[in-house]
């Protein structure tokens, strides 16, 4: 089954973290946890949206539409 994880490229959550804390948090969230999500499927992939914050539906609704379209197309191609 296809899986696409959309990742915000801008800082998120407006959390009052010190710089080292923010780096550690972001590293854990983006590089570890979101990659674990991606690997839940052998067809998983991650797309980093450099111009989007945490609110992807508001910042980049087109990216969501594109991801859904890619999954639909992959599903249709694999069901033939």
pTM for the structure as a whole: 0.79
Instruction: Break the chain into its structural domains and give their ranges.
Output: 2-78
**How confident is the model over 55-78, as pLDDT tens digits?**
899 999 999 999 999 999 998 888
Contact 53, 42 (CB under 8 A): no
* pLDDT value of position 43: 92
pLDDT band for position 16 (50/70/90)? low
Q: Which residue has the tokens 């994880």?
A: 5
* pLDDT value of position 71: 95
Residue 44 zone, left/alpha/beta (φ > 0; ψ -120 to 50; rest): beta
**How confident is the model over 30-42, as pLDDT tens digits?**
788 989 999 999 9
Q: Residue 24: pLDDT above 90?
A: no
- In angstroms, rounded to a whole number, what is the distance separating the alpha carbons of residues 38 and 4? 7
């Amino acid at each position: 089954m296809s899986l696409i994880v959309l990742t915000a490229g801008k800082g998120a959550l407006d959390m009052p973290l010190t710089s080292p804390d923010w780096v550690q948090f972001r590293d854990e969230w983006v590089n570890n946890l979101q990659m674990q999500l991606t690997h839940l499927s052998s067809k998983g992939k991650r797309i980093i949206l450099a111009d989007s914050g945490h609110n992807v539906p508001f910042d980049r609704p087109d990216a969501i539409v594109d991801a859904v379209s890619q999954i639909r197309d992959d599903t249709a191609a694999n069901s033939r």
